[in-house]
Amino acid sequence: MAEEPEVERNTEVTMDEIVALAKRRGFVFPSSEIYGGLGSTYDYGHYGVLLKNNVKNEWWRSMLTERDDIVALDSAILQHPKVWEASGHLDGFTDPLVQCLGKCKRRWREDHLREAIAEDGGDPKGEIHCPECGGELSPPRNFNLMFQTHMGPVVEDGNAVYLRPETAQGIFINFKNVLNFARKKPPFGIAQIGKSFRNEITPGNFIFRTREFEQMEMEFFVPPADAGEWYEKWIGIRRDWYLNLGIRESFLMVRPHEDDELSHYSSRTSDIEYLFPIGWSELEGIADRGDFDLTQHQNHSGEKLEYFDQQSGERYLPHVIEPAAGADRAALAFLVDAYDTEEVEGRERTVLKLHPRLAPVKAAVLPLFNKEGMPEQAQAINKVLRAAGIQTEYDSGGSIGKRYRRQDEIGTPWGITVDFDTKDDGMVTLRDRDSLEQNRVPIEGLPELLAGKLIEPWKSPKTG
């Protein structure tokens, strides 16, 4: 097992503070709230949508724009039930459910209870009790996590279908289509972002574990002999992705799975873990799936899924290296990592020190006062920036200090203030969210200035 780095727990932020900020500023709301909410489902508001879109765009950028050996796919959520038979999900996608037989009757995941005991230095194989009321627990039962529904107007045997519990299978069943049309040969990848559904026994911790979530998965098909090399490469690439987007290094670790943790399809897996306020937890898994999935689909469908290498005359089933991440969980990690409170000129400010590319709004355009043509000038700047594709927000309400703080809370990296001198000198004040530096810069060239800043290497100004 990997050594956990020595680090002070991120005590400055609790999950409750993140939830409160997310709600207060309209990032994420509990779903169906006017009806009392529906357990562990969430709706994303304006800033939440922008943030999560930025996370997904950065993922696409790293998979598609910055490389030419990966192609995109968007497969259906509903797939032939045989897909889940072949993939092993119908039989094997289960969690061990135990229920309290004492007072509280709560349900738990047995493996989670045993992990918690091991972390506290206890015997994970010993007797376990309900953590809530100390009651006796039922024997474990394998609970299948797939949501079932029915295709067509009549609910009857034989028309059951499942909401996909992962996006990966949609990729495997399209392997042949992509081979025929994308003109790629191993090593190459197929990437997909989309919703997945799991009837989790214990969802919770805000958007960390929900029953409906978005995954960002890429299946990388390689000649079998190269699997080990690509497995290591992808662990490094994916770790760097989080670091380059500002996650602090001491809050990130790669943890190889123990043999008894491995999924049914995997010969080796490493998790990239983040030190959430709930402790070290999985952000993303990188698995060597071997030829498990292609073999299964070949056998169950009767379609040949081999790759024929014309140069060597060899025919083989490629092996697969899979980096599988969660868009919601990544967004949560970025929020947690960015959250800071500090005192500025005697007043406390809450600030999200997000990587500028992840920030929902890039620049706030602010007239210092609502007079002397300042609002009109600010509106004109706002229009130019938006036309250049830069997400801005025009805000003229309240004192300038209050407006800066509002923008700090949603992580806007730059404030552009139009003042009395602007109409004479064509300059505005550019305020930096993190350093709080204020510089006067010409209006002319502002879009280029911000676009340049957005591609500069960036490191979190937070320490720890």
Give the interface with ligand ATP as residue ranges (CB under 6 A).
Answer: 166, 198, 200, 209-210, 213, 215, 282-285, 324-326, 328-329
Of the pair 97, 427, the CB lying nearest ligand ATP is at: 97
Of the pair 257, 406, the CB lying nearest ligand ATP is at: 257
Q: Are the beta carbons of 220 and 238 closer than 8 angstroms?
A: no
Residue nearest ligand ATP by beta-carbon distance: 326
Q: Are the beta carbons of 165 and 89 closer than 8 angstroms?
A: yes
Query: What CA–CA distance (Å, rounded) separates 65 from 71?
Result: 10
DSSP, collapsed to helix, strand or coil, labels residue 416 as strand
Query: What CA–CA distance (Å, rounded) separates 173 from 161?
Result: 16
C-beta of 350: minimal distance to ligand ATP in Å?
Answer: 25
DSSP, collapsed to helix, strand or coil, labels residue 453 as helix
Q: What is the DSSP letter of 419?
A: -
Query: What CA–CA distance (Å, rounded) separates 72 from 62?
Result: 12
Of the pair 99, 210, the CB lying nearest ligand ATP is at: 210
C-beta of 131: minimal distance to ligand ATP in Å?
Answer: 18
Of the pair 205, 350, the CB lying nearest ligand ATP is at: 205
Q: Which residues contact 452 (CB under 8 A, 6 or more apart)?
A: none
Query: What CA–CA distance (Å, rounded) separates 357 from 414?
Result: 12
| Structural Rg of the chain based on CA atoms | 25
What is the CB neighbour count within 10 angstroms for residue 288? 22
- For the four alpha carbons of 34, 198, 230 and 320, in that order, the dihedral sign comes to negative
State which amino acid sits at residue 101: L
C-beta of 142: minimal distance to ligand ATP in Å?
Answer: 15
Of the pair 218, 381, the CB lying nearest ligand ATP is at: 218
C-beta of 245: minimal distance to ligand ATP in Å?
Answer: 15
Which candidate, 282, 281, 269, places its Cα nearest to that of 322? Answer: 269
C-beta of 198: minimal distance to ligand ATP in Å?
Answer: 5
C-beta of 209: minimal distance to ligand ATP in Å?
Answer: 4
Burial classification of residue 54, based on how many CB atoms lie within 10 Å of its CB (0-12 exposed, 13-18 middle, 19 or more buried)? buried
* 318 phi, psi to nearest 5 deg: -65, 155
Of the pair 161, 193, the CB lying nearest ligand ATP is at: 193
C-beta of 246: minimal distance to ligand ATP in Å?
Answer: 18
- For the four alpha carbons of 105, 106, 109 and 113, in that order, the dihedral sign comes to negative
C-beta of 225: minimal distance to ligand ATP in Å?
Answer: 25
C-beta of 264: minimal distance to ligand ATP in Å?
Answer: 12
C-beta of 407: minimal distance to ligand ATP in Å?
Answer: 29
- Residue with structure tokens 């990592």? 337
Which candidate, 136, 125, 142, places its Cα nearest to that of 89? Answer: 142
Of the pair 336, 374, the CB lying nearest ligand ATP is at: 336
Alpha helix stretches (DSSP H) within 25-120: 46-60, 81-87, 89-92, 110-119
Q: N- to C-terminal Cα distance for the chain? A: 23
Of the pair 53, 379, the CB lying nearest ligand ATP is at: 53
Of the pair 147, 316, the CB lying nearest ligand ATP is at: 147
Of the pair 176, 209, the CB lying nearest ligand ATP is at: 209
